[in-house]
Structure 1
Amino acid sequence: MHGLTRRIAVGAAVTMVVSGMSVLAAPVASAEPCGGLGGPGSSILGNFFGSSGSSGGGGSNPRGTQQPLAPIRSANTQSVGWVTGPVSANNTYDRFGISGTDLGISWDNGAGQTLMAFGDSFGNCSVSGQQWRNNLLLRSDDSNLADGITIPDAVPGNTSSGSVVTSDAPRYSRQIVPSLGLPEVEATTIPTAAIAIDGVQYLNYMSVQSWGAPGRWVTNFSAIAVSRDNGQTWATDPLTIRVNKGVTIPGVAQVNEANGRFQMNAYAKGRDGFLYQFGTPNGRFGAAFVARVKPADILDLTKYEYATGDPAAPWSTKVEDSKKVVQEPVSELSVAWNDYLQKYVMLYGDETQGSIVARTAVNPEGPWSGPTTLLGRGETVGGIYAPYIHPKSSGSDLYFTASRWSDYNVMLLKTNLDALKG
């Protein structure tokens, strides 16, 4: 089948599987990044993330409780400063209606500008619902990261300004990818990776069905949303949906039990002309897998090839043939080629050790080096997670964003790559 006929048939199959999903009886409570004792559903602090993203507000400091960032230092890594939050240099509360957010996945838009995608975000902490949005986008033209990331003002209708806003709320960043916001159905939609190809933006996100114990959650699927106006508007391509329901429909690439290995993702442009997609299962305790595809075919799951670990046949068109390239636990990873090391660098969180680690490899499929700790448990006080490599990193300094639960905001850090040599 091709064209519209194939799209309708595949869409019907995907809809059938997703609508027929089993509902898991995970507890539902509330996240309180505005200053409560809990945290979002994946938080190491122990609460679950409810459908409203809030305990109701009222009486809280509208700006939240973020504090100035005390220096974070390890043997090879140090903090640069907050990127988001009321006390950040960007003052995202007054300028974008953001008191708390996480992730900050950054990528070059193909024209030298950096786009950053964020997860569940909050605004005025004193109102009901705390102005929760499932996801947001910020833009930056800053190429000097030594003093932090500067985000320009948002301008309604301006597709290169600091964020996506409307004329009726010019200081309030709009959500970019919709979500049903229904407990045990679709609680939220969270970006996990993004890349630009020929001036078009591609955002890989996960549809979260429900939150479970700390570091664990259930996804409905992962999918790719596409923007042709520099992140101003997005539309999900249904042919990119990877259903995560333990079901396989022969001949339908979107519905395969092994698609559970690619629910959270990272993109890296290969030096061989391929685009590499690194995947992990939902949650923070899975292994990492890798696929490759020609950039022009990013939206066609039938064109992906998967690393098998077999020297005689290293790539397969069958997702079920994919084998681990990094052993678990791998959470919220990012990967990029690094000119200084002449290797690929992978950053991720190790949930069992409470650390941020790095690995290197000559080829995306590995073998990958052993882990080097960038921030150990002692340096990640407050729960630092989700290290995403910044595309403007150069020389011996690798800059990356990371989030901290206790402040529920995003910071910029840098690490000395000499620690990864050898």
Structure 2
Amino acid sequence: MAVTTKIADLTGPGHTDRFGIGGTDLGIVTTAPDGRLVAVFGDTFERAGVGGPGWRSPVVLFADPDGVRSGLRWTGSGGDAAEYACRLVNKPSTNWFRLHRRVTTILPTDVITVGDTMYLHVMANKGLGNVLWSEVLASRDNGVSWERTGCEWPGEHCQGLFQQLTWEHGGDGHVYAYTTGFQRRDGLLLHRVPADRITERDAWEPWGFAGERWDWGNPPTLTVPGSFGELNLRRVPGPDGREHLLLTFFDAGNYRIDAMLLDLPTADLHAAPRTTLLHGCGWDDEDHDRGRVAQLYGGYVVPGSTLDDLHLVVSQWNTTTNWPYRSMQFRTDATELLG
């Protein structure tokens, strides 16, 4: 197991007050076309904790890419307010107009940059874990403002295993996406889409097993069973001078955050090298300098990381007291995945 230590709290009092953020979670990070880091957060409140005034989701904060190793430093926020981190999308879609009385929150699952456009996959929920639909948002101004693209999937798409999503460039003109449900009880599916057709639902193609072989266009088939939660697929340089495909994820069944090293997006996940980065624990057993975090989830790679200096954004929510409810940055060395 990797040795993982806490670098800093990223949100909460003393960190994000000036953006109107007291309590928030997630913090999915990518690099904008202009080079800034863009972090997307989920349910956000003005006071520390869950509940109270100023609820919105999702929201964006910007960070300086030079500050990764000492802890992300926030330089601004998304939306049309000078400092206040605004909800990213306010204009209703047809679904929103029809279902707005039922939707309780819209949560981000992953964000990617393709050329001069950023794409954000989100899921609309009626209560946590009950996904009504998911969709792709787009930003053409480096994550400041976002719009709906019309690319939507019902919550039951792929038998409910296309709700949480993580994606990365494949180096072959395609974007590859691992997906699962939002209930933290299912395994993973794999899809691909041409990078220039992300917002065309019909361009998405499943990876599946049929006729005694795996192939694109077959019915979607689990690539690996499990109880997967939040997912993050990223290309990360290694000390061997190569770029590696790293999948980090919350393993709800084992109450920990793990990572797998993939040689290809279509790698056999049963055989992929795997390690534990952080262990969940009780509130009396926490030790953030030894990788033990109570009620942890998330686990998003910070751009600028390497396998031997891997930085993750990790969430924590005390569901009994509603504080802590925050995102934190941890650092680890994951080179053991290279064997």
**Aligning the two structures, in what range does the TM-score lie when normalised by the shorter sequence?**
0.7 to 0.9
Deviates more, 1:307-316 or 1:128-137: 307-316
Indicate whether 1:421 and 2:338 are aligned.
Answer: yes
2: CA distance, partners of 1:223 / 1:174: 19
Q: Is the 8 A contact 1:117 1:138 kept in 2?
A: yes
Q: Which of the two has higher C-alpha Rg?
A: 1
> What letter is aligned with 2:326?
N
Report deviation, 1:342: 4.3
In structure 1, what residue type is equivalent to 2:21? I
Contact 1:177 1:189 in 2 (8 A): no
Task: Name the aligned partner's letter for residue 245 of structure 2.
Answer: Y
Distance 2:237 2:262 in 1: 13
Mapped to 2, the partners of 1:109 and 1:174 lie a distance apart of 18
Tell me by how many angstroms 1:144 deviates.
Answer: 3.7
Q: 1:350 aligns with which of 226, 251, 270?
A: 251
Residues 243-292 of structure 1: CA deviation (Å, up to 9, x unaligned) = 124xxxxxxxxxxx426221110011113232111111122111111111
For residue 184 of structure 1, report the CA deviation from its aligned partner.
7.5
Q: Which amino acid aligns with 1:230?
A: N
CA distance in 2, matches of 1:336, 1:196: 12
Structure 1 match to 2:195: 295
Partner of 2:10: 83
SS in 2 for 1:226: strand
Alpha-carbon distance in structure 1 between the residues aligned to 2:205 and 2:246: 21
Secondary structure of 2:69's counterpart equals helix
For 2:287, the equivalent position in structure 1 comes to none
- The separation in 2 between residues aligned to 1:102 and 1:311, in whole angstroms, is 43
- The percent of aligned pairs where both chains have the same amino acid is 27
Is the strand fraction higher in 1 or 2? 2
Q: Deviations over 1:194-251 (max 9, x none)?
A: 111111111000011223xxxxx1101110011112222222122x211124xxxxxx
Residue in 1 that maps onto 2:88? 176
What's the secondary structure of 1:364's corresponding residue? coil
List per-residue Cα deviations over 1:38-80 (Å, max 9, x = no partner): xxxxxxxxxxxxxxxxxxxxxxxxxxxxxxxxxxxx8421111
Aligned amino acid, residue 189 of structure 1? I
Task: Give the equivalent residue in structure 2 for 1:69.
Answer: none
Work out the CA distance in 1 between the residues paired with 2:106 and 2:38: 18
Query: Size of the alignment, in residue pairs?
Result: 315
CA RMSD of aligned residues (A): 2.5
Taking the TM superposition and a 5 Å limit, the aligned residue runs for 1:14-413 are: 75-87=2-14, 91-93=15-17, 95-124=18-47, 129-152=52-75, 162-164=76-78, 166=80, 170-178=82-90, 185-211=102-128, 217-238=129-150, 240-245=151-156, 257-258=157-158, 260-309=160-209, 314-317=214-217, 321-340=219-238, 342-368=243-269, 369=272, 371-378=274-281, 379-394=291-306, 396-406=308-318, 407-413=324-330
Alpha-carbon deviations, 1:154-173, whole Å to 9, x = none?
xxxxxxxx113545xx4421
1:370, CA displacement in angstroms?
A: 5.1
Q: What residue ranges of structure 2 are gaps of 5+ in the alignment?
A: 282-290, 319-323
- 1:313 to partner: Cα distance: 5.2
- The question of whether the paired residues in 2 share the 8 Å contact of 1:342 and 1:362 is answered with no
> Distance in 2 between the 1:259 and 1:114 partners?
34
Aligned equivalents of 2:103, 2:220: Cα separation in 1: 28
Give the letter for the 2:181 counterpart.
P
- Equivalent pair of 1:125/1:131 in contact (CA under 8 Å): no
Residue-by-residue CA offset, 1:76-126 (whole Å, 9 max, x unaligned): 211110111113xxx211x10101100100111133211110000010369
Amino acid at match of 1:100: G
SS at match of 1:173: coil
Conserved 8 A contact 2:2-2:334: no
How far the C-alpha of 1:383 sits from its partner, in A, is 0.9
Identify the structure with bigger relative contact order (alpha carbons < 8 Å, sequence gap 6+): 2
Task: Point out where structure 1 has 5 or more consecutive residues left out of the alignment.
Answer: 1-73, 153-161, 212-216, 246-256
Question: Displacement of 1:384 after TM fit?
Answer: 1.2
Matches of 1:171 and 1:98, distance apart in 2: 11
Distance verdict in 2 for CA 1:125–1:78, change over 3 Å:
closer
- Give the secondary structure class of the aligned counterpart of 1:146: coil
Determine the C-alpha separation between the residues in 2 that align with 1:309 and 1:141: 43
